[in-house]
Amino acid sequence: MKLTEAVVEFLVNLHCLGILLDYRKNYQHLYIKDKYALVSNLVTGLQLPSEAIQGEVLFVLYKISLLRHEKKDDDGIDVLSAYCPKLLHLSLKVLMKTESDDVRLNCVALLSVLAQRGMFVNACTNGISSKDPFEADKFMQTTMHVLDGPSLNLLFAEAIKAPLLSSDTQVQIGTLDLIFLYLSWESDARKQSQILIEENIADYVFENLRLSGCKDPVVSSCLQVLDILSVAEQAFRQRLAIGFTSLVPVLRHVAEVPFHPVQLQTLKLIWNGISNCPGIVSTTHIDEIGVILTGMLKKHLDGLIGMLPETFTIACSVLVALMRSASSRGTSRLAVSVQDAPRNALLICLSLYGNHPNQLLHSLYLLNEAYAYSHEADPTNSSYLELRNCILDAYKTNLLPWFLTSINDIEEDIALGVLESLHSVLLQDSEIQSKDFANVLVSSAWFSYSFKCLGLFPTEKMKRRIYLMFSSIVDVLLGNDCGQLIRDAVTNLPTDPIDMLFVLGQKSINNADMFLCQYAVLLILHISSFYDDRLADDKIVLASLEQYIILNSSKLLYEAAEQVIVEVLVNLYGLYRGLAKMSYQIPYSHEAEKILFHLMAEKEWDIFHMRIHLTSLKWLFQQETICKSLSNQVLKLCRCNSSFRHHLVVHSHINQNIDVHAIAELVASGDNFGAKILVCLLGELVEEGREEHDIISVLNVVATIVDTFPATSDQLCLHGIGGVIQNLYYHPRLSSSSETIIVVCKLIFGLLGTVQSRSLSGDETWHAVTVKLMDYLIHTVATDGWTQECLIVLGILSLILQHSTSQVLVEASKTILLSDPLVSVINNTIYEACSKGPALADGNEGTKTGECLIFVLLLYYYSLRSVHAIFPGTLDWQSLLDNDSGKRLITVIRIHCHDLCRLMHFGPPMVKLITSFCLLELFSRITDQKSRKSDHLKCRERYLPSLMAIFEGLVFCSDIRVAMNCALCLSVILCWGMQDMETRVIRQNNWCKLIVEELVMSLATPCLTSKSFMVHHKPAVHVAVSLLKLHKVPQWMTCVLDDDCISGIIQNLSSDNVTCEMVLLFRELLNRGYLNSEHIAGLNQVFQGCRKCMYNYQDASTEDDISKVAVISHDPGKVCEFLINLMSSQHSRGFEVRNKGLLEEIELFCKSLTEKDGG
Contacts of 1114 (CB under 8 A, 6+ apart): 742, 746, 788, 792
- Alpha-carbon Rg for the chain in angstroms: 49
Residue pLDDT, tens place only, 1078-1094:
999 999 999 888 888 77
Give me the pLDDT at residue 317, please: 96
Give one word for 1146, left, alpha or beta, with left for phi > 0 and alpha for psi -120 to 50.
alpha
Report how far residue 997's alpha carbon sits from residue 1039's, in angstroms, rounded to the nearest whole number.
10
DSSP letter assigned to residue 611: B
Q: Chain centroid to CA 779: how far?
A: 53
Class of domain 1-185: mainly alpha
Total residue count of the chain as it appears in this document: 1159
Q: Look at residue 719 and give its three-state secondary structure.
A: coil
Report how far residue 300's alpha carbon sits from residue 1066's, in angstroms, rounded to the nearest whole number.
70
Average pLDDT for consecutive 10-residue bins of the chain (1159 residues)?
59 66 56 70 79 80 67 54 83 90 91 86 51 43 47 89 91 93 81 91 93 88 93 91 92 91 94 90 91 94 91 95 86 87 95 92 95 81 90 95 94 95 87 88 94 94 96 90 92 93 90 92 94 91 95 84 88 93 80 94 85 91 93 90 49 58 90 95 92 93 92 94 94 85 93 93 90 94 92 96 94 93 92 86 75 94 93 81 58 86 92 94 87 70 81 89 93 76 63 88 73 73 90 87 91 86 92 91 90 65 43 78 88 42 86 79
Q: CA nearest 1061: which of 994, 1130, 1139, 1134?
A: 1139
- Whole-prediction pTM: 0.75
Q: CA nearest 860: which of 906, 786, 917, 820?
A: 917
Q: CA nearest 1031: which of 976, 991, 951?
A: 976
Report how far residue 620's alpha carbon sits from residue 675's, in angstroms, rounded to the nearest whole number.
14
Give me the pLDDT at residue 1132, please: 42
Q: CA nearest 301: which of 354, 260, 359, 341?
A: 341
Report how far residue 514's alpha carbon sits from residue 506's, in angstroms, rounded to the nearest whole number.
8
Report how far residue 531's alpha carbon sits from residue 654's, in angstroms, rounded to the nearest whole number.
8
DSSP letter assigned to residue 645: G
Q: Chain centroid to CA 769: how far?
A: 47
Report how far residue 62's alpha carbon sits from residue 571's, in angstroms, rounded to the nearest whole number.
89
72 strand-pairing partners: 78
Report how far residue 266's alpha carbon sits from residue 363's, in angstroms, rounded to the nearest whole number.
20
Contact 679, 721 (CB under 8 A): yes
Within 13 Å and on the Cβ side, how many CA atoms surround 669? 17
Give me the pLDDT at residue 499, please: 94
DSSP letter assigned to residue 397: I
657 strand-pairing partners: 611
Report how far residue 8's alpha carbon sits from residue 23's, in angstroms, rounded to the nearest whole number.
22
DSSP 203-218: HHHHHHHHHTTT-TTH
- Start-to-end Cα distance in the chain: 139
Contact 971, 1026 (CB under 8 A): yes
DSSP 518-583: HHHHHHHHHHHHTTT--SS-HHHHHHHHHHHHHHTHHHHHHS---HHHHHHHHHHHHHHHHHHHHH
Within 13 Å and on the Cβ side, how many CA atoms surround 261? 9
Locate the domains of the chain by residue range: 1-185, 434-605, 614-761, 960-1103+1139-1158
Give me the pLDDT at residue 1009, please: 52
Contact 1037, 1028 (CB under 8 A): yes
DSSP letter assigned to residue 516: H
Report how far residue 99's alpha carbon sits from residue 560's, in angstroms, rounded to the nearest whole number.
95
Report how far residue 1023's alpha carbon sits from residue 964's, in angstroms, rounded to the nearest whole number.
10
User: What kind and span of H or E run contains 1013?
Assistant: helix 1011-1016
User: What kind and span of H or E run contains 686?
Assistant: helix 674-687
Report how far residue 283's alpha carbon sits from residue 328's, in angstroms, rounded to the nearest whole number.
6
Q: Look at residue 871 and give its three-state secondary structure.
A: coil
Contact 341, 290 (CB under 8 A): yes
- The single-letter code of the amino acid at 735 is S
Cα–Cα distances in angstroms (integers) from residue 1060 to residues 332, 1096, 1103, in the given order: 62, 18, 11
Cα–Cα distances in angstroms (integers) from residue 998 to residues 283, 411, 1009, in the given order: 73, 82, 13
Cα 719-722-728 angle, rounded to 5 deg: 120
Report how far residue 1110's alpha carbon sits from residue 750's, in angstroms, rounded to the nearest whole number.
5
